[in-house]
Amino acid sequence: MAETVLHVNGVHRRYGSVQAVDDVSFSLARGGSLGIVGESGSGKTTTARIVVGLESADSGQIRVRGTGRTGRVRGRVARLARAREVQMVFQDPFLSLDPRVGVEAALRETLRLHFPGADHARRIAELLDQVGLGTRTRDALPRQLSGGQRQRVAIARALAVEPAILVLDEAVAALDVSVQAQILNLLADIRAQTGIGYLFITHDLGVVRCVTDDVIVMRQGRIVEAGSTEQVLSAPQHPYTRLLLESVPRPGWDPHAIAAARRALHHTASPSDSTNGQSTVHN
């Protein structure tokens, strides 16, 4: 059985009167790929930010490779070690890349921070090759790159510290469909080569089908359905999951019927109809 690299247990997060994350639990195995699906406000991005450490849970436990991450760490070395475990790739890399820093310099800065004193030239070349960027992009600034190239740089920078887990928050949502396919294929290749685990946050069920082994569906902060991606997408059990699938445009698609179904679900279903936040996925 594969090593569990991430274990999330009973996590809660409230903002004022809003329960953004409500008793969420799941696990991710080494080399696994788990999708977290839901509409805006479902709690999926807040969950991801808690896993990375950009947000704090009010209660619950997060363990990476068996070590808890819910408490504060003291000292620069310990903070850097924790940061290396889980890295995040955001939807818009233009906002996460320094506009004044070229590709090679950005990678070198990350490597110097985490691995001081080493010769980083070879590692930079490996990273550029790994994400499919040629040597001609080494000195390019973010504004001189395409959206797909910028996302490749963001992925390379995240991989530079050799994380156990890569959290991808709508990482292909801002890209053209053809470029999306290229990045998804790249991510599949990287996972096969490195054994890294993916936590893929998205509203796009097509993306989920392409890149994940298992999926959890979130609504109003809670997990309402969980299982293998094939099982959940081919035979959804929860009305909300069925609504998400029916909302994907296709021939004969009726947006008025979808709107009516959404109103009906709002009045008749609630998060209490869920799995009580307990995902059965052990990816």
Q: Where is pLDDT greater, at 154 or 136?
A: 154
Q: Determine the Cα–Cα distance for residues 102 and 116; give it in Å rounded to an integer.
A: 20
| Ramachandran class of 53: left when φ > 0, alpha when ψ lies in -120 to 50, beta otherwise | left
pLDDT for residue 64 is more than 90? yes
Structural domains in the chain, CATH included, are 4-282 (3.40.50.300)
pLDDT for residue 104 is more than 60? yes
Is the CB of residue 30 less than 8 Å from the CB of residue 167? no
Which stretch of 27-36, 163-172, 246-255 has the lowest confidence by average pLDDT?
246-255
φ, ψ for residue 26, nearest 5 deg: -170, 170
Per-residue confidence (pLDDT) for residue 277, from 0 to 100: 46
CB proximity list for 38: less than 8 A, separation 6 or greater: 44, 203, 217, 218, 219, 244
Query: In the predicted model, what is the mean pLDDT of residues 150-163?
Result: 95
User: Three-state secondary structure along 78-129?
Assistant: HHHHHHHHEEEECCCHHHHCCCCCCHHHHHHHHHHHHCCCCCCHHHHHHHHH
Tokens 């097509």: give the residue. 206
pLDDT for residue 79 is more than 50? yes
Tokens 């409500």: give the residue. 22
Q: Where is pLDDT greater, at 245 or 33?
A: 33
User: Mind listing the pLDDT tens digit for each residue in 232-278?
Assistant: 999 999 999 988 888 776 666 666 666 676 677 776 655 444 454 44
